[in-house]
Chains A and B, each alone.
Chain A
Amino acid sequence: MNCEVCQLKELEVEHFEIREVLRCILHTIVFHRALGLVRPKDVDLELFEITYVQCGDVELEKKIDEKIDHFISWVEKHPNKKSQICLSFYEVKSKQPSWFTNKTERLYWEQWYINLNVTQHPKHHSSKSHHTKLVVDPGESATEERSSRRAMVEASLREVLFQIIKFVNEKKDHVPPISEGVIYFPYEITIPSSSDSAFGMDMIKRMLHSGHPTMLS
């Protein structure tokens, strides 16, 4: 089974937009991969005029929110950095234990990479000088800039969602069969860790678990 990878379009978001954007994207992906009996739940974003769909599982929602909190913490420690969140779906396969691997292995059959560029909104320096003259202008231009920026982010997010739909529709064969009583496939959300090296180790770990053909078993 091959692992389908989807690299989503990079989004340039501000710190306060991270939570909503990540929730929207992650839940949309999971909804397409929660092939068990679900009661869809429409959620309207507050910052953007977008409605996404959740599968309605409370446990799933909690886990996603936890991961988002971790990511936000990481972003606060590493500001103005491009980051990547990986949502992976895997199958659990029992394997003969060896000194390399555990009894069970995860077979990742799909991975989604959410690329975010968290930026800090530049402050206006014009207010320092010519204060009396530009008292009004900075406010107006800032508002306009904010609204245009917000529209851009919304359009980009919409594109990302269309991208997900397109990918989901085009790639269906790799999806494992639906198990009885299982709402959604096992998944994993990977966020950047404290160091890049650790992030790299996570990738190696994943490869070991997935049984990449290049790896020697």
Chain B
Amino acid sequence: MEMDRESGKLEQIVSQFRSKILHVILDSRVPSLHHHHHQQQQESLSHSRVRKTDKWFNLVLGDRPPALENLNFSLRNLFDPMVIDIILVHRGSCSSSVDNLYSPSAPAAGPADETVIERWVVQYDCPRFIATPSGADACVSYKKIYKKSIILLRSLYTQMRLLPAYRIFKQLSSLSQTYNFDLVYKVSSFSHPFSREEESGMKEYIFAPVEALSGCLSVSVTYRATLSDFNLEPLVSLPPKIITDYVGSPTTDPMRSFPSSDKGAHATSFPLRGARPPSSSPFQRPHSWSSGFHRGFPSTKTQSLAGSPPVYRTSPKPYDIASPPTDLYGNRIQNQRVSTLQQVTAYDEYKSSPPFSPSASPSTPSYLSGTNPLRTRHCSETAPVTIPLPLTGRSTRYLSPNSSDPSRHSLPPLSPRSSKHDASSQESPSGIRSYRKIEALRAGESPSGLSNNYSAQKVVRDSKDDSGRFSALLSSSGSPRIGFSRSSSRLSFQDDMDDCEFSCPFDVDDVDVSDSSSQNTEGKKASEFTAQSNLVGKKSQDAAVGILVHMLRTAPPLRQDSSCYSTHSLRTEYEGGVSIASGFFMPRKTADALEELNSYREMKDLLLSKSGTRVVRKEEIK
């Protein structure tokens, strides 16, 4: 009975010794298990917790891998040797056919070369003759065996770090590199003998056995003396790729469509007033900061815009300015919206664009590029609305409210009434006309002298409408007034469009030319302006400003809205870009001029009514 108890203790020592050795080997050779164990060890260290398994042989190793428990169960017979093969797997060859192969990191596919680089054999040999020690001797016996097992385990632990395979283990355990090889293990109760070739490169070390009365516990290792034959180089990792063509990148081609978004409308997160533009409309404005809005800007302009949040100043809705623009930008607002409208279709194509592109994109919207390049170029810029010069000796000269504004060449559009004399004329709201007018202005602007001539014509025409105001405006610095008038334009343009009235707080003169609208077709207005130039000259400076404001406010909306104007009319505007530009020079009938005058008057009234001033018309007086 005493012997049974002692033998039971001894078996327990042997069993635990096998488990401990397996734990030490796996922890020092299999990277995947080591990572798992290391994490647990960190946790256990922090909690200073010693497990029951750690106390065996006074060596704290942490939690045993789950696979180890299964292996212990399968190798219950203590007298069967426990053979642990450490296999170097070189990915690329077929999978191994070795029994009980456990390879957590084995390649999922593809053949792999496998080489046994270490073989540990733990054996508990039963002696032929089993001595039966007495009680005291037996007690001392298993304590000594236990002590010796501790020493054996210590030496094995140290030896594991001195063998060549440990270096490979360290390499693979490094998370910073990936390799095309791996270390796996195989535990079995028998060992396949090495081939002669394999044996030639192997060395063997046999640990001193721990002799017990009922058996002899021995550990031996056969290992490859050198592993330089294996190409143990880390996989060449791709250098970090810097993605430059991301959405919002200044170098991104604005024409490029990004697969992430179908419509440009989805890519924006800027606050948009009102509903989104209808997707079916070619003139929808998906972004408040549409690429077209910034794309065509010269670098100087764009930079100045980038410093401020213009995206909030331009919204997809026409005449819906979120924040008051500065003087520098003020004149641009109208044109910006127009230019954005023009480029809406193209924007659909590229779908996303940097909101603050530091440099103006050289590419213009595709649909515009197919039309008048001059016009396209003009459309890509933010041209502020300029006050047309009066006829008197300033026909060839521009004047912009802000002389420093590089886009000061554009003139305010003609009155809306003149649109019916356009090549594509139709009865359209004033908004469209003003838009067309701006289009004409834009088309005229080019590096060449064409824009000057065009604008000169425009100036003549405008001066006829409200020559007095314009002339008065010309004599001033302009920008403060413009800024002020611009501020008045911050009112909801939608209301203006609905009312089709015009009221300018500065207009205290005759309203004949005060209804000058910013929307008109370009070609038709020439004659009309000529006829009205004298009348315009008589108007006050404030009235001119009011006209200008109204022109800007009644510009066609950015978003295609059938309630406001006809899409077709706008489309025809684009399609017949050249013709429209040329149509601006077509003579206008008196009826058109009168119609335009009336529209201007209405607009003026509207403005005045909003400012609380009662408009007294000549007709009423009469």
Contact = CB atoms under 8 A, between A and B. Distances in A.
B208 A170 contact: yes
B155 A169 contact: yes
Nearest to B28: A42
A178 B55 CA distance: 14
Given A162-B162, A177-B143, A40 B157 contact: yes
Interface in B156-196: 157-159, 161-162, 166-167, 170
B151 interface: yes
B571 interface: no
B20 to A, nearest CB: 12
B84 interface: no
A32 B154 contact: yes
A60 interface: no
B59 A38 contact: yes
Contacts of B167: 49
Interface stretch (A7-15, A50-58, A116-124): A50-58
Given A42-B161, A158-B162, A168 B60 contact: no
Nearest to B147: A178
Contacts of B58: 35-38, 178
Nearest to B150: A35
B162 A172 contact: no
A161 interface: yes
A133 interface: no
B162 A161 contact: yes
B207 interface: yes
Given A38-B58, A39-B60, A51-B166, A165 B158 contact: yes
A198 to B, nearest CB: 34
B152 interface: yes
B155 A165 contact: yes
A28 interface: yes
B166 A53 contact: no
A87 to B, nearest CB: 16
A42 B169 CA distance: 14
B155 A168 contact: yes
Nearest to B206: A169
B126 interface: no
B50 interface: yes
Given A37-B60, A38-B59, A39-B60, A172 B148 contact: yes
Contact of A53 (B61, B147, B150, B157): B157
A35 B56 CA distance: 11
Contacts of B147: 35, 172, 175, 177-178
B424 to A, nearest CB: 82
A151 to B, nearest CB: 14
Contacts of B148: 172
| Residue of A53, A164, A172 with most chain B CB atoms under a 10 A cut-off | A172
A161 B158 contact: yes
Contacts of B170: 51
Contact of B151 (A28, A38, A175): A175
B45 to A, nearest CB: 8
B207 A169 contact: yes
A108 interface: no
Contact of B50 (A35, A37, A50, A53): A37
Interface in A163-187: 164-165, 168-170, 172, 175, 177-178
A169 B208 contact: yes
B162 A50 contact: yes
Contacts of A52: 158, 161
Nearest to B24: A40
A169 B151 contact: yes
Interface residues of A, number: 27
A32 B170 CA distance: 23
Interface string B446-486: 00000000000000000000000000000000000000000
A21 to B, nearest CB: 15
Contacts of B61: 40
A28 B158 contact: yes
A162 B223 CA distance: 15
Nearest to A183: B58
A168 B151 contact: yes
B298 to A, nearest CB: 58
A31 interface: yes
Given A49-B167, A172-B148, A165 B159 contact: yes
Given A42-B161, A158-B162, A32 B50 contact: no
A3 B612 CA distance: 116
A168 B207 CA distance: 10
A49 B166 CA distance: 11
A4 to B, nearest CB: 13
Interface in B385-436: none
Contacts of A35: 58, 147, 150-151, 154
Interface in B21-48: 45
Contacts of A164: 158
B432 to A, nearest CB: 79
Nearest to A158: B162
Contact of B59 (A40, A165, A178): A40
Contacts of B54: 37
B151 A172 contact: yes
Nearest to B149: A172
B160 to A, nearest CB: 9
A32 B158 contact: yes
Contact of A37 (B45, B55, B157, B166): B55
A148 to B, nearest CB: 17
| Residue of B54, B147, B167 with most chain A CB atoms under a 10 A cut-off | B147
B335 to A, nearest CB: 69
Interface in A36-70: 36-40, 42, 49-53
Given A37-B55, A170-B208, A172-B208, A31 B158 contact: yes
Nearest to A28: B158
Nearest to B45: A39
Interface string B50-81: 10001100111100000000000000000000
Contacts of A175: 147, 151
A51 B161 contact: yes
A31 B60 contact: no
A146 to B, nearest CB: 22
B462 to A, nearest CB: 83
| Residue of A39, A51, A169, A170 with most chain B CB atoms under a 10 A cut-off | A169
A38 B158 CA distance: 14
A169 to B, nearest CB: 4
A31 B159 CA distance: 12
Contacts of A168: 151, 154-155
Contacts of B60: 37-40
6 contacts: A37-B60, A38-B58, A162-B162, A165-B158, A172-B147, A172-B148
Given A50-B162, A53-B157, 5 more contacts: A32-B155, A38-B59, A161-B162, A164-B158, A172-B151
Interface of B: 45, 50, 54-55, 58-61, 143, 147-148, 150-152, 154-155, 157-159, 161-162, 166-167, 170, 207-208
Closest 9 CB pairs of A and B: A169-B208, A39-B60, A51-B161, A37-B58, A165-B155, A172-B148, A32-B154, A169-B155, A35-B150
